[in-house]
Amino acid sequence: MLSTSQTTSPHEQAAAVVDMLRRNASQAEDERRIPDENIKALTEAGLFRMAMPRRFGGYGTDIQTVLQVNAELGRGCGSTAWVMTLINSTIWMIGLFSDQAQQDVFGADPDARACSVITPTSNSKYAKNGRVITGKWPFASGSLHSQWAVLGMPIVNDGGHTTDQELALVPMADLHVEDTWYVAGMRGTGSNTIVADEVFVPEHRILSVTKAIHGHLPAQHGDDTLYRSAFMPVLALVLAGPLLGLARGALEVVEASLAKGKPISQTFYDNAALAPSIQLQFAEAAQLIDTAELHMQRAASDIDRWATSGQYMPVLNRARVRMDASYIARRSREAVDVLLNIHGGSSFTEFNSLQRIWRDLETASRHAILSHAIVGELYGRALLGIDDQITHLI
Beta-strand ranges (E) seen in the chain are 114-117, 122-127, 130-140, 148-156, 162-171, 176-178, 192-202, 206-208
Q: Measure Cα distances from 61 to 45, 51, 55, 224, 237 in Å.
A: 14, 6, 13, 9, 15
**Per DSSP, what are the bridge partners of residue 127?**
130
Buried b (16+ CB within 10 A) or exposed e, 262-287: bebeeeeeeebbebeebeebbebbbe
User: Do 394 and 378 meet the contact criterion of CB atoms below 8 Å apart?
Assistant: yes
**Per DSSP, what are the bridge partners of residue 165?**
154
Fold of 10-107: Butyryl-Coa Dehydrogenase, subunit A; domain 1 (1.10.540)
Every domain of the chain and the residues it spans: 10-107, 114-209, 231-383
Specify the CATH class of 231-383 in words.
mainly alpha
Going 112 to 117 to 120 to 123, the CA torsion angle's sign is negative
- Distance, first Cα to last Cα, the chain: 37
Fold of 114-209: Butyryl-CoA Dehydrogenase, subunit A; domain 2 (2.40.110)
Per-residue pLDDT of the chain in tens (394 residues, 90 and over written 9): 344 445 789 999 999 999 999 999 999 999 999 999 999 999 999 999 999 999 999 998 999 999 999 999 999 999 999 999 999 999 999 999 999 999 999 999 999 999 999 999 888 888 999 999 999 999 999 999 999 999 999 987 777 677 889 999 999 999 999 999 999 999 999 999 999 999 999 999 999 999 999 998 766 555 689 999 999 999 999 999 999 999 999 999 999 999 999 899 999 999 999 999 999 999 999 999 999 999 999 999 999 999 999 899 999 999 999 999 999 999 999 999 999 999 999 999 999 999 999 999 999 999 999 999 999 999 999 999 999 999 999 9
This prediction has a pTM of 0.95
pLDDT value of position 4: 43
pLDDT in tens, 229-283: 999 999 999 999 999 999 999 999 999 999 999 899 999 999 999 999 999 999 9
